[in-house]
Amino acid sequence: MTKAYVIEVRNRTAGIVTADEHGFSFFACERVFDSLEGREFRSTRDAERAARALLDARSAQRATRQAVFALAVTVEIISSFAATFKIPFH
């Protein structure tokens, strides 16, 4: 009988792992976890750690993109303000 375990990260179902002779095979339930599809892990905890690391990395990338966008908007506002009042801004 195959044993299967659900891997959840931050209230999201990342995937299911099934036990076999090599360890635990990962099957993604959401697209964000597709890069883990088919990977073998020594334990269910290792699979959970990998899913958590993947989600953490995506969150960090999103935060970086938001910060860059906010900076670009700020520069545009300052540039427009400087042009309106003829203040040199480089």
| pLDDT band (50, 70, 90) for residue 79 | confident
Q: Which phi and psi angles does 85 have, rounded to 5°?
A: -100, 15
User: 55: helix, coil or strand?
Assistant: helix
Joined tokens for residue 15: 């995937």
- Whole-angstrom Cα distance, residue 90 to residue 49? 46
Greater pLDDT, 40 or 79: 40
For the chain, the domains span 4-63
State CA 32 to chain mean position distance: 7
Which residue has 């339930």 as its token pair?
29
Confidence of residue 63 (pLDDT cuts 50, 70, 90): low
- Pairwise pLDDT comparison (34 vs 66), residue with the higher score: 34
Question: At 18, is the secondary structure helix, strand, or coil?
Answer: strand
Whole-model pTM: value is 0.68
Percentage of residues in the chain having pLDDT higher than 70: 92
